Amino acid sequence: MPGLTGCSAKYPAYTALTLTATPASGFVFTGWGAPCSGTGTCRSTVVKGQTIHATFAPGSSAAFTKGKWGATFSTPVVAVHMHLLPTGKVMLWGHVGEAELWDPANPGAGFTSVTKTYDFFCSGHTFAADGRLLVTGGTIGGAHGDPRAVLYDASAGTWSGTGSMAQGRYYPTLTVLPHGDVLALSGSDESGAVVGVPEVWNGTSWRRLTTASLEIPGPFYPAAFVAPNGNVFLAGFLPTTRYLDVAGTGTWITVGDRKVANRMKGSAVMYAPGKILYAGGGDPPTSSAEVIDLNQPSPAWRSVPAMAFPRRQLNATLLADGQVLVTHGSSGSGFNNVAAAVHAAELWNPTTESWSTMASESRSRVYHSTALLLPDGRVLSSGSGEGAGVLYENSEFTAQVFSPPYLFNPDGTLAARPVVSAAPSKISYGQSFSVQTPDPASISRGTLIRLSSVTHAFNQSQLIYPLSFTAAGATSLDAVGPASGNLAPPGPYMLFLINRKGVPSKARMVTVGP
């Protein structure tokens, strides 16, 4: 409490403590000191005498504690698919209409149409190692998959074809592999049958993993991630999670069962290298969440505290500081229960493994909703509708931007942000690099966050790599790039600096790779 110098107590060794900070009227809790951080509960095991600082400040701004949503604005299509391009612009598309470009740095300019080369509604997509957006599959009618694949060069504004897959894929997941190849997993083919055989793209052509056939039933778009051991980790939807070794013709390796078997249309996110959070999903939806650490010799899922709301059709978005923002979804039974839409966002703190309820969005966003992190540290939210019982004309042709609490001072004014004066355009594996900033002493850490490519409750491209900096001069910081593509697959990333108050800079676009 403000005005107090502290309190103390004695506990037996190895007692697990959970500390909660409660501010007095007119004050807000601004964060824990080591060994904790953030503004959730502080968990610490007693080993020796120590002091844990809790910091308070005058003010009680809702924006500082719960973030703030901007006004809604119209979109020309339903944002079923949404991507942050290396140019900083956002590309989005639905079933009806063309692809559309929107520039968050110049929102008043509106949208610019980009003609699609074919109907890649319900396609898979991610960013290739060279920064181009790879789009595979889509529909040739209903749930019948298209085998084609195309690349979009954001700098040139052009599409180009690449080799077609052996089978069509509707609702596939794409995963960039450590050396830049791309895995296509699941979906339904030209006849509407489940595609059991994965395929790997090498930049021009595809090869089938014929000894790794695994049927992942609808609604497809299974959550998959590159693990620190170089394999692809299949987190869902099947209750048994596995590694896929893509060498040769492929091999599946069983890891273990999730705590909650049914997480259909929940959302999974890798919140640190090798660490995955899976939240919500099921029917009726669950509020539960669980994590797994693939860095461990024998990884196993374990439960963490639940969200405040059950959710199905939610989106999990990595923020610039490594926290996870959950938006959207329905708390009601059924595939797409719009009447039970959840409007409040929630924020998950990986350090404390606790949830905080954030401000509420204006619109109902459930099936076919999307969300992604923008270069300025805000989150763009859009979509919902155009299917699952919602007619096209009744769909959400709107978007809204969320400003997380880290962008505000306790009194609700905008926080002063650190500045990236200069950064390299390319960061190589295991190599040191320098970042220029006016006040290096104020920087506590940084993050590399891969650009988003999101649809159907799963972001097929986002991941995070934490950076530690050392001072290298009056305006310079040094860091070392990720050790390998196992920890950060090659491609386009945003580089953020984060100051000691937890405020992130605006991002610089960089390419990470060999």
For β-strands 312-318 and 158-162, DSSP reports them as unpaired
pLDDT range class, residue 287, cuts 50, 70, 90 = very high
pLDDT range class, residue 48, cuts 50, 70, 90 = confident
Looking at the chain, the whole-number percentage of residues with pLDDT higher than 70 is: 98
Measured in whole angstroms, the distance separating CA 136 from the mean position of its chain's CA atoms is 20
- CB count within 10 Å of CB 307 equals 23
Enumerate domains of the chain plus CATH numbers: 16-60 (no CATH), 68-407 (2.130.10.80), 426-513 (2.60.40.10)
Preceding amide of 285 cis, omega within 30 = no
Average pLDDT over residues 462-471: 97
pTM: 0.90
Average pLDDT over residues 395-424: 97
* 60 pLDDT more than 80: no
What one-character-per-residue DSSP string does 138-183 give?
-EEETTEEB--EEEEETTTTEEEEEPPPSS-BBS-EEEE-TTS-EE
Helix/strand/coil for 107: helix
> What does the mean pLDDT of the chain come to?
95
Distance CA 158, CA 133 (A): 11
* 2 pLDDT more than 50: no
- E strand intervals along 170-311: 173-176, 182-185, 199-201, 206-208, 224-226, 232-234, 240-245, 251-257, 267-272, 275-279, 289-293, 302-304
> Quick one: pLDDT at residue 8?
85
Contacts of 302 (CB under 8 A, 6+ apart): 259, 290, 291, 292
pLDDT in tens, 95-123: 999 999 999 999 999 999 999 999 999 99
* 403 pLDDT more than 90: yes
Please state, in angstroms and as integers, the Cα–Cα distance from residue 234 to each residue in 231, 381, 392, following that order: 10, 26, 33
Instruction: State residue 467 phi and psi, 5-degree precision.
Output: -120, 140
* 172 pLDDT more than 60: yes
Average pLDDT over residues 164-179: 98
* 4 pLDDT more than 60: no
Q: HEC profile for 392-456?
A: HHHCCCEEEEEECHHHECCCCCECCCCCCCECCCEEECCCEEEEECCCHHHEEEEEEEECCEEEC
* 190 pLDDT more than 70: yes
> Quick one: pLDDT at residue 59?
62
> Quick one: pLDDT at residue 3?
46
pLDDT range class, residue 36, cuts 50, 70, 90 = confident
- Among 51-60, 108-117, 357-366, name the one with the lowest average pLDDT: 51-60
* 128 pLDDT more than 60: yes
H or E element at residue 65: helix 62-66
Please state, in angstroms and as integers, the Cα–Cα distance from residue 267 to each residue in 123, 134, 161, 460, following that order: 18, 22, 31, 11
pLDDT in tens, 239-262: 999 999 999 999 999 999 999 999
Which one has a higher pLDDT value, 59 or 20? 20
* Distance, first Cα to last Cα, the chain: 50
> Quick one: pLDDT at residue 1?
38
H or E element at residue 98: none
pLDDT in tens, 291-341: 999 999 999 999 999 999 999 999 999 999 999 999 999 999 999 999 999
Quote the DSSP letter at residue 348: E
Average pLDDT over residues 197-213: 97
| The token pair that represents 503 in the structure block | 């405020």
Instruction: State residue 300 phi and psi, 5-degree precision.
Output: -145, 145
Instruction: Evaluate whether 408 touches 504 at the Cβ level (below 8 Å).
Output: no
pLDDT range class, residue 58, cuts 50, 70, 90 = low
pLDDT range class, residue 392, cuts 50, 70, 90 = very high
H or E element at residue 467: strand 464-467
Helix/strand/coil for 245: strand
